[in-house]
């Protein structure tokens, strides 16, 4: 514990930019992308990393948007490595040329996670909104050639959940050491497109059978991480391991968030340009607001799971009910659970994966109607 009595954070998610050449309709980035154009400079990021290390951060996840769009990525990594941080790049792989990869390798980058949208080139490119499959496959091979361990990330939804077997086969073929199959979390663009993305219960059940069998078959060769779809569960996920407990996020503009989906929560802003990171972590109202269990309403307050899931995700509660201090509606004990149950029921009765309309992520929200939250 730090002198303030608050736990020290382990991980920093650094969202370097919200720029991205892809258009994934499930993107968790905020819909109002234009509000985050004033990005921290190289020197500002370097200062943030030094402050984070001092605060106890050990792991740096470099993400976005597309972090490779930052020309100073290698410089930022070099600083992180000098500080003793474990560095992890989370990328769509667009821009990961052999030259760029070697530059990052030389800078000391520890680990690379490449996201793919599907195992079928046409489906991958349709979801990504741009031809990108071939480049991703080439980049994945390059990562292995350069001696990095390879993790593949796949966000799962109505359009690719039935393809898990093929996705796992592709991962095996690429020699992936790990694969993260993450069911979509409904923030940002994903929430806007929820009607088109939410899978049916039958799809979820089929997928779980495939994952279980693959885990047995590939044990010791490839690690399979499967993030359960919280809309289909009984209990919420322990978001971030608790508010202001283990992790923090710094977004492109320098605002510091306790959860990567907290952009629109009605909390006072805390920016690294105005305050030291230690003050933000230990004392800022945004981080103090939902620490511990004192803020909890019923049914969480008297629930025996309150230290296990911390009442779920504050951002999900806010996005679905307008009040960040309510029980996560994903929990079947929440008085607002009907919101989630209705969405799941609609997904069970909904159109086939191919017919559901989606709005691709764009720099400027066009207000296109179709499937909306």
Ligand X SMILES: C[S@@+](CC[C@H](N)C(=O)[O-])C[C@H]1O[C@@H](n2cnc3c(N)ncnc32)[C@H](O)[C@@H]1O
Tell me which residues touch another protein (CB under 8 A): 8, 10-11, 53-56, 58-59, 84, 86, 88, 110-111, 113, 147, 149, 151, 177-178, 219-220, 223, 225
Cα distance between residue 93 and residue 137, in whole Å: 9
* Distance separating alpha carbons of residues 322 and 42, to the nearest angstrom: 36
* Residue 42 or 153 having the CB closest to ligand X: 153
Q: Residues 39, 66, 230, 255: which binds ligand SF4 (CB under 6 A)?
A: 66
| Segment contacting ligand SF4 by CB under 6 A, of 19-27, 38-46, 98-106, 224-232 | 19-27
Give which of 17, 11, 18 is closest to 49, Cα–Cα: 11
Q: How many angstroms separate the first and last alpha carbons of the chain? A: 40
Site for ligand SF4 in 26-65 (CB under 6 A): 27, 29, 64-65
Which residues have C-beta within 8 Å of that of residue 3, sequence separation ≥ 6?
Answer: none
Residue 272: name its binding partner from ligand X, another protein, ligand SF4, none (Cβ under 5 to 8 Å by kind): none
Beta strand ranges found along the chain (DSSP E) = 11-15, 59-63, 86-91, 111-116, 150-156, 178-183, 223-227, 247-250, 256-257
- Measured in degrees and rounded to the nearest 5, phi and psi for residue 89 equal -100, 125
**Binds ligand SF4 (CB under 6 A): choice among 14, 16, 22, 156:** 22
Tokens matching residue 150: 């390879």
89-108: contacts with ligand SF4 (CB under 6 A): 92
The binding site for ligand X (CB under 6 A) comprises: 20, 26-29, 63-66, 90-92, 115, 153, 155, 182, 184-185, 187, 190
Token pair 């234009």 in the structure block, residue = 34
- Based on the shown chain and the rule CB under 6 A, indicate whether residue 151 belongs to the binding site for ligand SF4: no
Q: Is the dihedral of CA 83, 88, 92, 98 positive or negative?
A: positive
Closest to another protein by CB, 280 or 324:
280
Q: Is 88 helix (H, G, I), strand (E, B) or coil?
A: strand
Backbone CA torsion sign across 130, 133, 139, 140: positive
Judged by beta carbon, residue 130 or residue 153, the one nearer ligand X is 153
Q: In this complex, which beta carbon is closest to another protein, that of residue 11 or of residue 244?
A: 11
| Contact partner at residue 292 from another protein, ligand X, ligand SF4, none, CB < 5 to 8 Å by partner kind | none
Q: Which is nearer to ligand SF4, 235 or 279 (CB)?
A: 235
Q: Is the CB of 272 or the CB of 319 nearer to ligand X? A: 319
- Cα dist from 217 to 25, 169, 210, 225, whole Å: 32, 12, 11, 14
Select the residue interacting with ligand SF4 from 227, 333, 346, 365 (CB under 6 A). 333
Interface pattern 343-372 for ligand SF4 (x via CB under 6 A): ------------------x-----------
Q: Which is nearer to ligand SF4, 255 or 328 (CB)?
A: 328
Give the pairing type, strands 256-257 and 86-91. Answer: unpaired
């Amino acid at each position: 514990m730090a002198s303030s009595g608050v736990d020290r954070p382990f991980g920093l998610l650094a969202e370097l930019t919200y720029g991205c050449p892809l258009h994934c309709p499930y993107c968790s980035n905020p819909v109002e992308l234009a509000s985050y154009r004033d990005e921290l400079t190289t020197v500002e990021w370097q200062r943030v990393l030094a402050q984070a290390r001092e605060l106890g951060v050990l792991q740096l996840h470099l993400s976005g948007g597309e972090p490779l769009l930052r020309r100073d990525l290698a410089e930022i990594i070099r600083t992180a490595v000098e500080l003793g941080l474990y560095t992890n790049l989370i990328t769509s792989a667009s821009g990961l040329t052999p030259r760029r990869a070697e530059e990052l390798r030389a800078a000391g980058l520890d680990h690379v996670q490449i996201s793919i949208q599907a195992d079928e080139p046409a489906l991958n490119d349709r979801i990504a909104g741009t031809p990108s499959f071939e480049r991703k496959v080439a980049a994945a091979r390059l990562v292995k050639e350069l001696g990095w361990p390879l993790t593949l990330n796949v966000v799962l939804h109505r359009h690719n959940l039935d393809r898990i077997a093929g996705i796992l086969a592709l991962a095996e073929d690429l020699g992936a050491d790990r694969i993260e199959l993450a069911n979509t979390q409904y923030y940002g663009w994903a929430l806007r497109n929820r009607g088109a993305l939410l899978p049916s219960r039958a799809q979820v059940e089929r997928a779980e059978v495939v994952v279980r069998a693959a885990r047995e078959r590939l044990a010791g060769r490839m690690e399979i991480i499967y993030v359960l779809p919280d809309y289909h569960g009984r209990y919420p996920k322990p978001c971030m391991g608790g508010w202001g407990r283990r992790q923090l996020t710094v977004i492109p503009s320098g605002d510091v968030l306790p959860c990567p989906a907290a952009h629109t929560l009605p909390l006072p802003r805390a920016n690294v340009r105005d305050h030291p990171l230690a003050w933000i972590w230990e004392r800022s109202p945004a981080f103090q607001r939902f620490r511990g269990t004192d803020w909890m309403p019923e049914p969480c307050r008297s629930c025996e799971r309150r230290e296990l899931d911390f009442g779920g995700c504050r951002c999900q509660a806010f996005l679905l009910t307008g009040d960040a201090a309510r029980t996560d509606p994903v929990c079947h004990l929440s008085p607002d659970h009907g919101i989630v149950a209705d969405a799941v029921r609609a997904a069970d009765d909904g159109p086939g994966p191919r017919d559901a309309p989606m709005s691709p992520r764009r720099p400027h929200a066009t207000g296109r109607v179709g499937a909306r939250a």
